[in-house]
Amino acid sequence: MIIFSDFDNTLYPHGDESGFILNLQAVQKFRQSGHKFCIATGRNLSSLERAWKDYSMYLDALVLDNGAICLNAQAQPILKFAIPLATLQTITHDVLGCFDDISLVAYNCDLTEHPDLTQDATKMRYWTLNNQTADEIADYLNGKYSHQVKAYPQHDCIPTRNLDFINPECKAFVDLAAIDAGKENAITKLSNIIAPGQNVVTVGDGTNDVAMLQRFDGYAIASGHPSALAAVTPSHVVESVAELINVLS
What ranges do the domains of the chain cover?
2-80+181-248, 85-178
Q: Pairing mode, if any, of strands 172-178 and 200-204?
A: unpaired
Instruction: Examine the pLDDT at 20 and tell me if it is beyond 90.
Output: yes
Q: Which of 47, 36, 106, 110 is nearest to 73 (CA)?
A: 36
Query: For residue range 130-166, what is the model confidence (pLDDT) as tens digits?
Result: 999 999 999 999 999 999 999 999 999 888 766 778 8
What value does the mean pLDDT of the chain take?
A: 93
CATH architecture of the domain with range 85-178: 2-Layer Sandwich (3.30)
Mean pLDDT of 30-37: 96
User: CATH assignment of 2-80+181-248, given 3.40.50.1000, 3.20.20.140, 3.90.650.10, 1.10.10.60?
Assistant: 3.40.50.1000
Which pTM does this prediction carry? 0.86
Name the band, by pLDDT with cuts 50, 70 and 90, for residue 110: confident
Query: For residue range 57-66, what is the model confidence (pLDDT) as tens digits?
Result: 999 999 999 9
Q: Which of 51, 48, 208 is nearest to 138 (CA)?
A: 208
Instruction: Examine the pLDDT at 24 and tell me if it is beyond 80.
Output: yes
Query: For residue range 111-140, what is the model confidence (pLDDT) as tens digits?
Result: 777 888 888 999 999 999 999 999 999 999
CA 53 → CA 45, 46, 58, 183, 222, distances in Å?
11, 10, 11, 22, 27
Query: For residue range 50-94, what is the model confidence (pLDDT) as tens digits?
Result: 889 999 999 999 999 999 999 998 899 999 999 999 999 999 999
